[in-house]
Amino acid sequence: MQRVVAVAVIGLIGLGDRVAGQDHGVYDQADIEYGLGVYRAQCATCHGERGAEIAGVDLRSGQLRRTDSDRALRALIRNGIPDTGMLAFDLDPAEMTGIIAYLRNMNYETDVVILGDAARGRTVLEGKGDCMSCHRVKGQGPRMAPELTAIGRIRAPSALRRALLDPTGTMLPINRPVELVTADGTRLTGRRLNEDTYTVQLIDEQERLRSFDKADLLEYTVLTVSPMPSYEDQLSPQELADLLAYLVSLKG
């Protein structure tokens, strides 16, 4: 596990070095690669494959007149430019993360394939990955783990990839499993949905929504280790790439 994290970090540092001169964010290879797909679907018709089809606009130049920051670039894409051919694009958060990452890295060629084949990825998710033992996708599977039906819309590919490699490190605190014992001795496990100083809300193993006053509990433990295994060693790089491609395609 530690080895995997180290590799991932080195990869990120390497990318970070390449884009550091642009004074922008650090872009993950998974997002860049996903952004290429978004670019081809949404942008290439006008801007061209190489980003220079519109006179006076060279997306690969690193010099975008109106957008000195990623935030400004996001706003431009979302709102368009009035009285020009630049339309407003209604992209979901994952697509927006991807297109920004790609536009900031159009100069750099890469042969790393992080996003594989989504159709094959589905068979990984349903078969070898055993994901639907815990996750629910399009009305199938249990509800204990976070639902994946629209995960490709709300999570960028980079975040999904990190979650597959390092589930514990990327688990949102609110999703942590909890174990508790009620006043009558009943032991319960579940996934945390909400918590404040005095109470906790969870979905229990019977998929019921439950709420407890902590003062009434004999035991209450929030587990910090994800019940999800790392897939670094369980799947081949190709299977991982395919699974990621399928997750990215889940738009709800």
Q: Which residues contact 184 (CB under 8 A, 6 or more apart)?
A: none
Taking CB under 8 A as the criterion, the residue among 136, 155, 161, 162 binding another protein is 136
Q: Does 170 bind another protein (CB under 8 A)?
A: no
- Partners of residue 54 on adjacent β-strands: 57
Q: Does 5 bind another protein (CB under 8 A)?
A: no
Nearer to another protein by C-beta: 47 or 176? Answer: 176
Q: Which residues contact 214 (CB under 8 A, 6 or more apart)?
A: 198, 199, 200, 220
Burial class (CB in 10 A: 0-12, 13-18, 19+), 5: middle
Q: Does 147 bind another protein (CB under 8 A)?
A: yes
Q: What angle do CA 82, 88, 94 make, to 5 degrees?
A: 150
Q: Does 251 bind another protein (CB under 8 A)?
A: no
Q: Does 219 bind another protein (CB under 8 A)?
A: no
Q: Report helix, strand and coil shares of the chain as percent, to nearest 5.
A: 45, 15, 40
Taking CB under 8 A as the criterion, the residue among 101, 124, 190, 239 binding another protein is 190
Nearer to another protein by C-beta: 71 or 143? Answer: 143
Please give the residue ranges that form the binding site for another protein (CB under 8 A): 133-134, 136, 139, 142-144, 147, 149-150, 177, 179, 189-190, 193-194, 196, 199, 201, 203, 205-209, 211, 213, 223-228, 252
